[in-house]
Amino acid sequence: MASLTVRRLDDAIRDELRLRAARNGRSVEDEVRVILREASLGRSLSAAAPAAAPSSVRTPASTRSHVTLIIGGGIAAYKALDLIRRLKERYIHVRCVLTKAAQQFVTQLAVSALSHERVYTDLFDPESEFDAGHIRLAREADLIVVAPATADLMAKMAQGHADDLASAVLLASDRPILLAPAMNPLMWDNAATRRNVAQLARDGIVMIGPNAGEMAEVNEAGVGRMAEPMEIAEAAERLLRPPQPHPLAGKRVLITAGPTHEPIDPVRYIANRSSGKQGFAIAVAAQAAGADVTLISGPVDLGDPPGVTVKRVESARDMLRQVEATLPVDIAIFAAAVADWRVGNEGEQKLKKTVQGMPPLQLVENPDLLATISKLDTAKRPKLVIGFAAETEHLIENAKAKFARKGCDWIVANDVSPTGGVMGGDRNTVHLLARQDGEITVDSWPVMTKEQVAVELVTRIGRAVERAP
Ligand SMILES: Cc1cc2nc3c(=O)[nH]c(=O)nc-3n(C[C@H](O)[C@H](O)[C@H](O)COP(=O)(O)O)c2cc1C
């Protein structure tokens, strides 16, 4: 049954599910069972999600955040219309509550047209209260934003009133609350407002603004203008999506990617089908995790990832030279598909057809980058050396043999047989080989996008770095 369910899910949820399963070391079916079990015990899906390890780098959120926006009855209510747009362009789902006074300033029609949702105004509305709608407005949100927050609403909050929908939602909520106060400077300066503001701050409520500036009233200026919609949206986003930790901050990471081209003569070369996508994705993820990343890439059709130092090379020997020139680094990841052989008798001029038949190409072995760097003296060797094993048969067996031969710390094994579409494709199914107590461990991940593989690998590197002395 679980596999049927998985097949019907949309791509984003399916990817999220697979990533979760990989993180928890479970099969997708087992992960679905855990979610169902926890849901039946009354825990929400997000509560059942494993707490990301402190060092983890998360994939971009595929689920949208939910904000309940309470619009108070002040002149600045018109700016709340722009705020709805600013939140929505950040992929935040917005549901609005209008106080009675707010309806004097903006219409329900405008608010619902912008939020694409029905608007809530009445605590005693039988249509929404049949299932305690005010509690749902409080609990189903990840964040409650009050903009404008009137002096009156703040006074009610500070005192714990709940005699209308807005104040009842605020009192019934255990979610973070962001207030954007807006009022006349004398109202803001009033001792009662000062007391209420201090009380709300003690209650853990976050405020943005008010700013100084012109008031709506003629010839009035001072502190009391509501923060601009953009500022409020940014503050909301910070509360919803706190900045990610940077587990690789201060670490130098070297990554190789792509194929190599081994010249036959000035116009011909031996190549392979590597696209470089996996190595580039790892560079992006490592950079996002705070690392100082150098990406050494063979010829590929990919642009330089922002914030990454990219060195472009052609042959395996060029790649090794650039790798050695980049040392010392803390972590080296060899994702490039380096040609095992090159032409020993490379033609100085374009080789010609002759009556004697085909030119006798002699293949000689290329330097082994992974083994060379893995076997460096401790002083020069990166603390963590990770190789990739691309195999078309007996994947795990061959990867284990490669692991034993090369002297690296981890191997990421992937099946590159043509039927899998890994070479040049966007997805990858990998197995992470490591050593524990002298034994080789194999951790098989479900099929993921190359970006997800990159994020997962970097997350694991972050944890290893954290544990390392
Ligand atoms: C034209 C006009 C503008 C107002 N502007 C504000 C304001 O900017 N800030 C404020 O706190 N109250 C303002 N008020 C007073 C509120 O509308 C009033 O306190 C109301 O009860 C607030 O209700 P609410 O907090 O339920 O939205 C204004 C009133 C009027 C008539």
Full DSSP string of 172-232: T--S-EEEEE---HHHHHSHHHHHHHHHHHHTT-EE--PEEEE-SSTT-EEEEEPPPHHHH
Could you give the 3-state DSSP secondary structure of residue 343? Answer: strand
Question: Does a structural domain hold residue 288?
Answer: yes
Token representation of residue 250:
């201060």
Ligand 1 centroid to 182 CA: how many Å? 9
Token representation of residue 100:
């009675």
Query: In a mutational test of the pocket of ligand 1, which residue from 103, 105, 121, 150 has the highest number of ligand atoms less than 8 Å from its CB?
Result: 150
- State the Cα angle at 333 between 330 and 334, rounded to 5°: 140
In whole angstroms, what is the distance from residue 81 CA to residue 99 CA? 15
In whole angstroms, what is the distance from residue 323 CA to residue 46 CA? 42
Q: Which domain holds residue 35?
A: 2-48
Ligand 1 centroid to 78 CA: how many Å? 13
Single out the residue of 119, 454, 64 nearest to residue 293, CA to CA.
454
**Could you give the number of structural domains in the chain?**
3
Token representation of residue 130:
């049949």
- Is residue 21 located within the same domain as residue 167? no
pLDDT at residue number 49:
28
Total length of the chain: 469
Single out the residue of 375, 291, 385 nearest to residue 335, CA to CA.
385
- Is residue 41 located within the same domain as residue 160? no
pLDDT at residue number 437:
87
Is 219 assigned a catalytic role?
Answer: no
CB under 8 Å to 405, separation ≥6 — which residues?
371
Residue having the nearest C-alpha atom to atom 6 of ligand 1: 74
Question: Does a structural domain hold residue 406?
Answer: yes
Query: In a mutational test of the pocket of ligand 1, which residue from 111, 121, 152 has the highest number of ligand atoms less than 8 Å from its CB?
Result: 152
- Is residue 234 located within the same domain as residue 327? no
Question: Does a structural domain hold residue 138?
Answer: yes
Question: Does a structural domain hold residue 425?
Answer: yes
**Is residue 441 within 8 Å of residue 11, measured between CB atoms?**
no
pLDDT at residue number 132:
63
Question: Does a structural domain hold residue 353?
Answer: no
pLDDT at residue number 360:
81
Question: Does a structural domain hold residue 233?
Answer: yes
- Is residue 74 located within the same domain as residue 44? no
Ligand 1-lining residues (CB < 6 angstroms): 72-76, 99, 101-102, 150-153, 182-183, 187
**Is residue 341 within 8 Å of residue 315, measured between CB atoms?**
no
pLDDT at residue number 418:
62
Could you give the 3-state DSSP secondary structure of residue 451? Answer: helix
- The domain boundary, picked from 207, 240, 273, lies at 240
Ligand 1 centroid to 147 CA: how many Å? 12
Query: In a mutational test of the pocket of ligand 1, which residue from 70, 75, 96 has the highest number of ligand atoms less than 8 Å from its CB?
Result: 75
Question: Does a structural domain hold residue 246?
Answer: no
- Is residue 377 located within the same domain as residue 409? yes
- Is residue 24 located within the same domain as residue 77? no
- Is residue 169 located within the same domain as residue 229? yes
In whole angstroms, what is the distance from residue 84 CA to residue 63 CA? 18
Taking the CA of residue 171 as centre, how many other CA atoms within 13 Å lie in the half-sphere pointing to its CB? 17
- Is residue 276 located within the same domain as residue 236? no
Look up residue 337 and give its DSSP letter.
B
In whole angstroms, what is the distance from residue 420 CA to residue 426 CA? 11
Name the burial class of residue 11, with classes exposed (0-12), middle (13-18) and buried (19+) by CB atoms within 10 angstroms of its CB. Answer: exposed
The atom number, within ligand 1, closest to the CA of 76 reads 8
Q: Which of 24, 184, 196, 272 is catalytic?
A: 272
- The domain boundary, picked from 188, 220, 240, lies at 240
Q: Assess whether the previous peptide bond of 328 is cis (omega < 30° from 0).
A: yes
Say how many C-beta atoms besides its own lie within 10 A of residue 282's C-beta: 30
| Averaged pLDDT, groups of 10, the chain, 469 residues long | 46 65 63 64 32 33 76 97 93 94 97 94 75 77 97 98 95 95 96 97 95 80 92 93 84 97 94 92 95 97 94 98 98 97 89 81 94 96 94 84 92 78 73 91 88 92 85
- Is residue 175 located within the same domain as residue 100? yes
**Where residue 411 sits, what CATH number does that domain have?**
3.40.50.10300
Bridge partners of 256, per DSSP, are: 296, 334
Single out the residue of 152, 148, 147, 145 nearest to residue 193, CA to CA.
152
Ligand 1 centroid to 150 CA: how many Å? 6
**Is residue 410 within 8 Å of residue 432, measured between CB atoms?**
yes
- Is residue 289 located within the same domain as residue 438? yes
- The domain boundary, picked from 213, 240, 267, lies at 240
- Is residue 233 located within the same domain as residue 260? no
Residue having the nearest C-alpha atom to atom 4 of ligand 1: 74
Residue having the nearest C-alpha atom to atom 11 of ligand 1: 150
- Is residue 285 located within the same domain as residue 371? yes
Single out the residue of 370, 388, 373, 394 nearest to residue 453, CA to CA.
388
**Where residue 197 sits, what CATH number does that domain have?**
3.40.50.1950
Token representation of residue 444:
């098989």
Question: Does a structural domain hold residue 198?
Answer: yes
Ligand 1 centroid to 134 CA: how many Å? 22
